[in-house]
C-alpha cells in the first residue's frame, strides 16, 4: 500500500501545496488501492480516468499557484448524489443504468474547489438501512474484523460504502447523507468521523430524495479536521433548494483546536437505556471525563420525548419516502417492465425494481398517509416531532452548548446477524441518532474507543442549529483525549 493513502486529507492538501508529490501521484495511489479492494464492495462504479484527468488539471493549477481549497484531493461520492455523465443508482435496480445529465449542487461545490472523484460509493438501497445489506449491488464489507475472527462485519448504513472507503483508505474523504443516522452510525462502526450538519446547511438538490424533511448531506472523513475542511466546501446556499439556508459558511477548520473551556455539555438522562451494555456506558463516561478535563462544564439534562423519536421517525420517514419514490414509474428513466396496460407497467416495474426493505417502507408510508389514517399517524408524528424539538430548545435556552451521547447502542455486527426476522431490530440502531434529524440539529460522531472484541465505538455530539463550529471544537477535544484508534491493515488486498 502506498504511503500516500495513509495521509489525512489535510496532510495531503499541504503536501500537494508544498509539491512533495503531485496530484497525479496522489490520485494514482488511491486508484490502485480502490482497484485492489473489490472484496469490500465499497464502490459501485470506479472512475479512474475522471480522477486522473482532474488530477492533471490540478497539477497545472498548483504549478501556476492557483490551487483551490481541495485541489487534487481524491474523494468518493455516495451513489445517492447525481453525478453528470456517471451512473447514479441509489443502489437500486430501478435506477440501474441511469446516467444523470446534471450534477448535484454539493458535488459541484466540491469540484469547484478542486477535488477529484474516484467513483460512486455503495449504500443501502435508497439510503434505507443501517448495515448496507439492502444494496442491489451487494453488501459492503467493513475493513474492520473482530479480534481473532474473520467473520464479515457490516460497515453500518446507509452510508456504508462511504465509511468503509474512508476507513480502508480508499479515498481521502467521502460524501454521505443522513436521514436518521446514515452518516453517524457508519462513522461510529468504522472508526471514522461523520457530521450531519443542521438541516438546510447543505443543498439537497441533485441528491436522490428519501425523506425530504430529514435528509441532509455531510462528509465522512479520517478525522475531525478533515470533516471540517470538507463541510466548508459542501455547504452553502442554493437557490435550487428552497430549504437551503442563505447564511455565510464559516471556515470550519479554524474551529478545530479551539478551547472547550467553559462550554456547557448536556448529558441527557433519557439516553441511558435499560439494558445498555456496560461497554457503551463506560465509553460515555470517559467522554464526559475528557471534556471535563478540557474545562467544559458537565450538566445532567432531560429530553423527555426522546423515546418517541424512533417510532415517530418510522411514520414520518416512510410517509415522505412513499411520496418521493412515486416518481420511479418506469416511464421516464430506469427499469421498465411491461404488462397489459399502464397500471401493470407501474406495478410490475416497481415490484421488480425496488428491494424488500424499500417496498416495505413505501407500503408503510402509503398506509399512514391513506384516507382515514393521516391524522392518527402522520399528523400525530409531526406533533411529536414538535415536542422532541422543544426538548432540545429548552436545554439550549438554559445555556447548554452541546449534548454528548453514545453514537450507537452496540459496535458493528456481522452480516446477516440482525433484522432478518424482525425489521424493527435493525431500526433500533438509530435510537441515539434519529432525534437529531427529527429536530433538524447538527450531530457529529467521533471515534472514542474499541469494544471488547476490537471494533470501533463512537461518541455523538449534538449542537445548536448552525453551530457546527462548536461540534468541531468539542469533537477534536475528544479526538485528542481518546486513545488513538489505528485503522485496520489491508487484509482485503
Partner 1 sequence: MSVDLATVRRIAHLARIRVSEEEAPFLQNEINSILDFVEELNAVDVEGVEPMTSVLPMAMKKRADVVTDGNIVEKVLANAPAREDGFFVVPKVIE
- Please state the closest distance from residue 439 (CB atom) to partner 1, in A: 7
For cell 442554493, name the residue.
Answer: 238
- Please state the closest distance from residue 168 (CB atom) to partner 1, in A: 32
Question: In degrees, to the nearest 5, what angle opens at C-alpha 283 toward C-alphas 273 and 467?
Answer: 85
Q: Which of 123, 128, 98, 93 is nearest to 363 (CA)?
A: 128
Cell of 245: 439556508
Query: Which residue's CB is nearer to partner 1, number 286 or number 359?
Result: 359
Query: Which residue's CB is nearer to partner 1, number 1 or number 345?
Result: 345
Query: Which residue's CB is nearer to partner 1, number 293 or number 351?
Result: 351
277 catalytic? Reply is: no
Query: Which residue's CB is nearer to partner 1, number 151 or number 342?
Result: 342
Residue 299 forms beta bridges with which residues?
266
List Cβ neighbours of 454 (8 Å cut-off, separation of 6 or more).
144, 145, 146, 147
Query: Which residue's CB is nearer to partner 1, number 314 or number 472?
Result: 314
- Please state the closest distance from residue 103 (CB atom) to partner 1, in A: 12
Q: Is 128 helix (H, G, I), strand (E, B) or coil?
A: coil
User: Which strands sit side by side in the sheet containing 402-406, from one edge to the other?
Assistant: 43-46, 116-121, 74-78, 173-178, 216-221, 193-196, 443-450, 456-463, 402-406, 264-268, 297-301
Q: Which of 104, 182, 233, 410 is catalytic?
A: 182
List Cβ neighbours of 346 (8 Å cut-off, separation of 6 or more).
329, 330
Q: In 198-308, which residue ranges form alpha helices assigned H by DSSP? A: 224-234, 278-293
C-alpha 35 chain-centroid distance? 23
Query: Which residue's CB is nearer to partner 1, number 364 or number 485?
Result: 364
Q: Is 404 helix (H, G, I), strand (E, B) or coil?
A: strand
For cell 396496460, name the residue.
Answer: 341
- Please state the closest distance from residue 6 (CB atom) to partner 1, in A: 39
Query: Which residue's CB is nearer to partner 1, number 207 or number 229?
Result: 207
Q: Which of 22, 78, 120, 244 is catalytic?
A: 78
- Please state the closest distance from residue 464 (CB atom) to partner 1, in A: 11
- Please state the closest distance from residue 264 (CB atom) to partner 1, in A: 22
Q: DSSP character for 405?
A: E
Query: Which residue's CB is nearer to partner 1, number 96 or number 279?
Result: 96
- Please state the closest distance from residue 84 (CB atom) to partner 1, in A: 10
78 catalytic? Reply is: yes
Query: Which residue's CB is nearer to partner 1, number 69 or number 423?
Result: 423
Question: Residue 158: is the preceding peptide bond cis (ω within 30°)?
Answer: yes
Q: Is 164 within 8 Å of 37 (Cβ atoms)?
A: no
244 catalytic? Reply is: no
- In order, the DSSP letters of 237-255 are --TT-TTS--SPPP-GGGG
- Please state the closest distance from residue 210 (CB atom) to partner 1, in A: 16
Please say whether the dihedral angle defined by the alpha carbons of residues 183, 58, 71 and 113, taken in this order, is positive or negative. Answer: negative
C-alpha 24 chain-centroid distance? 28
Q: Please return the burial class of 75, using the count of CB atoms within 10 Å of its CB with bins 0-12, 13-18 and 19+.
A: buried
- Please state the closest distance from residue 365 (CB atom) to partner 1, in A: 8
Residues 136 and 419: their CA atoms lie apart, in Å, by 17
Q: Which of 58, 135, 142, 158 is catalytic?
A: 158
Buried b (16+ CB within 10 A) or exposed e, 451-482: beeebbbbbbbbbbbbbbbbbbbbbbbbbeeb
Residues 175 and 187: their CA atoms lie apart, in Å, by 12
Residues forming the active site: 78, 158, 182
Amino acid at each position: 500500500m502506498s504511503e500516500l493513502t495513509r495521509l489525512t486529507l489535510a496532510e495531503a492538501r499541504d503536501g500537494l501545496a508544498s509539491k512533495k508529490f503531485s496530484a497525479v501521484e496522489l490520485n494514482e495511489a488511491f486508484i490502485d488501492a480502490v482497484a485492489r479492494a473489490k472484496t469490500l464492495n465499497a464502490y459501485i462504479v470506479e472512475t479512474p480516468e475522471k480522477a486522473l484527468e482532474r488530477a492533471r488539471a490540478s497539477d497545472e493549477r498548483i504549478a501556476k499557484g492557483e490551487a483551490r481549497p481541495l485541489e487534487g484531493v481524491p474523494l468518493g461520492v455516495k451513489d445517492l448524489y447525481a453525478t453528470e455523465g456517471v451512473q447514479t443508482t441509489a443502489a437500486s435496480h430501478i435506477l440501474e443504468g441511469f446516467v444523470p445529465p446534471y450534477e448535484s449542487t454539493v458535488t459541484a461545490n466540491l469540484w469547484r474547489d478542486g477535488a477529484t472523484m474516484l467513483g460512486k460509493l455503495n449504500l443501502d438501497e435508497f439510503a434505507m438501512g443501517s448495515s448496507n445489506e439492502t444494496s442491489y449491488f451487494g453488501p459492503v464489507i467493513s475493513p474492520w474484523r473482530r479480534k481473532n475472527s474473520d467473520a464479515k462485519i457490516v460497515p453500518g448504513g446507509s452510508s456504508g460504502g462511504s465509511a468503509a472507503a474512508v476507513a480502508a483508505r480508499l479515498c481521502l474523504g467521502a460524501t454521505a447523507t443522513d436521514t436518521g443516522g446514515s452518516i453517524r452510525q457508519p462513522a461510529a462502526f468504522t472508526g471514522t468521523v461523520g457530521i450531519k450538519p443542521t438541516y438546510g446547511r447543505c443543498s439537497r438538490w441533485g441528491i436522490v430524495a428519501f425523506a425530504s424533511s430529514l435528509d441532509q448531506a455531510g462528509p465522512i472523513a479520517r478525522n475531525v479536521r478533515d470533516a471540517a475542511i470538507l463541510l466548508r466546501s459542501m455547504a452553502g446556499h442554493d437557490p435550487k433548494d428552497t430549504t437551503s439556508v442563505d447564511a455565510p459558511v464559516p471556515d470550519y477548520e479554524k474551529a478545530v483546536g479551539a478551547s472547550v473551556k467553559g462550554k456547557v455539555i448536556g448529558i441527557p438522562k433519557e439516553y441511558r437505556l435499560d439494558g445498555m451494555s456496560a461497554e457503551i456506558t463506560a465509553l460515555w463516561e470517559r467522554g464526559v471525563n475528557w471534556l471535563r478535563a478540557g474545562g467544559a462544564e458537565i450538566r445532567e439534562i432531560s429530553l423527555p420525548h426522546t423515546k418517541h423519536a424512533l417510532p415517530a421517525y418510522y411514520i414520518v420517514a416512510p410517509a415522505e419516502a412513499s411520496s418521493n419514490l412515486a416518481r420511479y414509474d418506469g416511464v421516464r428513466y430506469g427499469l421498465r417492465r411491461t404488462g397489459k396496460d399502464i397500471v401493470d407497467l407501474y406495478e410490475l416495474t416497481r415490484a421488480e425494481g425496488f428491494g424488500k426493505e424499500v417496498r416495505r417502507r413505501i407500503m408503510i408510508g402509503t398506509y399512514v398517509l391513506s384516507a382515514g389514517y393521516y391524522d392518527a399517524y402522520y399528523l400525530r408524528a409531526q406533533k411529536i416531532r414538535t415536542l422532541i424539538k422543544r426538548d432540545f430548545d429548552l436545554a439550549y435556552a438554559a445555556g447548554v452548548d452541546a449534548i454528548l451521547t453514545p453514537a450507537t447502542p452496540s459496535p458493528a455486527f456481522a452480516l446477516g446477524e440482525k433484522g432478518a426476522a424482525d425489521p424493527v431490530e435493525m431500526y433500533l440502531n438509530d435510537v441515539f441518532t434519529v432525534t437529531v434529524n427529527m429536530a433538524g440539529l447538527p450531530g457529529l460522531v467521533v471515534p472514542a474507543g474499541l469494544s471488547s472484541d476490537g471494533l470501533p465505538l463512537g461518541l455523538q455530539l449534538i449542537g445548536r442549529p448552525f453551530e457546527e463550529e462548536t461540534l468541531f471544537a468539542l469533537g477534536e477535544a475528544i479526538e485528542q483525549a481518546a486513545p488513538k484508534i489505528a485503522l485496520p491493515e489491508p487484509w482485503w488486498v
